[in-house]
A and B are shown apart, each in its own frame.
Chain A
Amino acid sequence: MSLLEVRNLSVEFETTSGRFRAVDGFDLTLNPGDITAIVGESGSGKSVAFLAMMGLLPWTATITSDVMKFDGNDLNQITPKQRRKIVGKDMSMIFQEPMTSLNPCYTVGFQIKEALRIHLGMDRKARHARAIELFEQVGIPAPETRLGSFPHQMSGGMNQRVMIAMAIACKPKMLIADEPTTALDVTIQAQILELLTSLQEETGMALVLITHDMGVVAETAQQVSVQYAGQKCEQQEVTALFTRPHHPYTAALLAALPERATTKHLPTIPGVVPGQFDRPNGCMFSPRCSMATDLCHSTPPPVGGPEIGFARCHTPINLNAEEEA
């Protein structure tokens, strides 16, 4: 049985200017030990989908889904009390900005021990020992003294390690890392990514990496799902995605990478991501797509089969690559 199963998850926000659909028909299946990357631009609904699963969205959000199951629990039916037992324990998240996600009023030691106290009910001594062990695990030097530090006394990289230590404190079955390295320097980023993958190998948890950095995806993930304007437009195994993208958006995104540039001018995707008021009728990507036909502008495309990477497209590309290979 898969660890996480989500079918047709949609999240709508009630705003003063009408409803806004941030996530539209999100599907995901995760097995223990998977490393999946969710790639997309800002506003593509990648964080919101996972916040919805964790029940962390404000009341203005309407969450609907056909199936949303985690580790045998139906997240649609679950009571808030039961959910609190899962969130932060079996399913935990590393948030994007370590500096703002930690509470500045408490020491990091207090914050990490809070999770241990509430979820695992450890006594004071055990909590202290476990906190030190966790700090050692994530590579924080002098853990004893660091437990008494406040977030502002430590660097961004150290705070991010604290966030990771907190997230893995209860040995989660699924760890969601929401842009875990965006705020960090490259040498620290390399250390953090290495830490995450080694922790994943040790504990066999499922790791979800939400990011917009194609380099990070290429080096870390096994499966990649590309999100655009709230929809998943493609999902493939990482090597296949980078060599044979099937959705024109993925192809355009890869072509826009500076390191793949052959001329001084980069290939660009014209236009911007559709907002609340200019959502197209047909395919979400059709206004910016170079291959769009009349059909694309009028009818939303169906989700394709696994042979074309579940591409949500009327005119998927690189179709006969398998035959060539």
Chain B
Amino acid sequence: MSEPVLVAENLTQEYVLKGGMFGKDRIVRALTGASFSLEPGKTLAVVGESGCGKSTLARCITMIEEPAAGSFVLDGKKATAANHDELRTTVQIVFQDPYGSLNPRQRCGQILEEPLIINHPEMPSAERTRRAREMLELVGLRPEHYDRYPHMFSGGQRQRIAVGRALMLEPKVLVLDEPVSALDLSIQSQILNLLVDLQERLGLAYLFISHDLSVVKHIADDVIVMYLGRPVEVATKEALFEHQRHPYTKALLSATPMADPTLRKQRIKLTGELPSPVNIPPGCPFSPRCWKATDKCRTERPELDQGPHRAACHFPE
């Protein structure tokens, strides 16, 4: 076991919704009590539906936002507001939407070089160009793409540029926020392979945020399942896919379509939708949609239990 490169402790993030002149301010609890550790060369997947706090977690870890409570240690250094600038080269992020994350006025080459200009201003421009061209090849783009603008690329190619940009500083932790959900199947496998290769070569640690369980099953080492801002189940990939202790994980897995027409499985039907994170139900947040909720679930919030396979449920299986 090597030293973890990222340790998060009880990360919590809240946003305040202004109530306007007459209303009261309301608090959105986007993320509550996320704790985990990540070792070099490992992939930790964060799974959940939209609004479960996956992206908020990513924004806290990449220091785009200051967490409201809790802390995390990056590469042996505790992240505080003072050393954010210094630590930012250790963590880079690939965003979900490659249409929004690339500047339409910059050429592909400029996009790739910008992190170097900002963080290594002493680097000669010829060296920067060389590295950017190397990166183009590495992420599966052609040399002539160097001078093109983002609108000339397909969604898949744009995501390659975004992956390339994140890797320009050779970070230790890469946060991947739904990196392949916008890509076509044949391109998706290329990117996943690329990520696997880079991880082996550079010993990168991935925080892989996704809702696609088949991708998670392929790439992850450990999995955190989140629901309404809280981790509900934490386990190794093998343990989680073998046996789900939390009913939400069970429902999520059963809802994921499998590419096998001969398989006829029992699907757990969840009724209702994700409650708004503004008014999270008291007790277990999953209780309004859970088929085995009791009065205890509706009043008392379950905490993550201990052990290698943790679940936050009063009646884990």
Contacts and interface: CB of A to CB of B under 8 A. Distances in A.
Contacts of B184: 41-42, 212, 273
B215 interface: yes
Given A214-B185, A252-B186, A268-B186, A189 B255 contact: yes
How many chain B residues sit at the interface, stated as a range, is 35 or more
A127 to B, nearest CB: 27
Contacts, number: 119
Nearest to A219: B257
Contacts of A212: 184-185
Interface stretch (A65-73, A253-261, A290-298): A253-261
Nearest to B216: A258
A267 interface: yes
A170 interface: no
Given A218-B261, A219-B257, A258 B215 contact: yes
A191 B267 CA distance: 10
Interface in B251-268: 251-252, 254-263, 267
B119 to A, nearest CB: 31
B258 A266 contact: no
B193 A187 contact: no
B18 interface: no
Measured as residues with beta carbon below 8 angstroms from the partner, the interface class of chain A is 35 or more
B261 A185 contact: no
Contacts of A215: 214, 256-259
A268 B273 contact: no
B49 A218 contact: no
A126 to B, nearest CB: 30
A257 B262 contact: no
Given A187-B49, A265-B196, A256 B260 contact: no
A259 B219 CA distance: 10
Contacts of A42: 154-156, 184
A49 B164 CA distance: 34
The listed residue with most A CB atoms (<10 A of its CB), out of B185, B217, B263, is B185
Interface in A153-199: 155-158, 185-191, 193-194
Contacts of B49: 185-188
Contacts of B257: 189-190, 193, 213, 215-216, 218-219
A153 B254 CA distance: 29
A43 interface: yes
Interface in A243-264: 243, 252-254, 256-261, 264
B155 A187 contact: no
B213 interface: yes
A121 B157 CA distance: 48
A259 B255 contact: no
A49 B28 CA distance: 44
A217 interface: yes
B54 to A, nearest CB: 11
Nearest to A158: B273
A242 interface: yes
A187 B218 contact: no
Contacts of A213: 257
A272 interface: yes
B221 to A, nearest CB: 11
A100 interface: no
Contacts of B80: none
A319 interface: no
B154 A259 contact: no
Given A185-B211, A265-B196, A258 B261 contact: no
Interface string A25-45: 000000000000000011100
A272 B157 contact: yes
B181 to A, nearest CB: 9
A238 interface: yes
B260 A242 contact: yes
A3 B155 CA distance: 35
B106 interface: no
A213 B261 CA distance: 13
A268 B189 CA distance: 6
Nearest to A241: B261
A186 B255 contact: yes
A41 B185 contact: yes
A220 to B, nearest CB: 8
A194 B255 CA distance: 11
Given A41-B185, A212-B184, A215-B258, A258 B267 contact: no
B302 to A, nearest CB: 20
Nearest to B197: A265
Interface in B176-214: 184-190, 192-193, 196, 211, 213-214
23 contacts: A41-B186, A42-B154, A42-B184, A156-B50, A186-B256, A187-B49, A187-B251, A187-B252, A190-B270, A212-B184, A215-B259, A218-B261, A253-B185, A254-B259, A256-B188, A257-B214, A258-B215, A259-B214, A259-B258, A264-B196, A265-B196, A272-B157, A272-B187
Interface of B: 49-50, 154-157, 184-190, 192-193, 196, 211, 213-215, 217-219, 251-252, 254-263, 267, 269-270, 273-274
Given A190-B270, A257-B185, 6 more contacts: A41-B186, A186-B256, A188-B273, A212-B184, A239-B262, A267-B189
Q: Which 4 A-B pairs have the closest CB atoms?
A: A215-B257, A258-B218, A41-B184, A185-B49
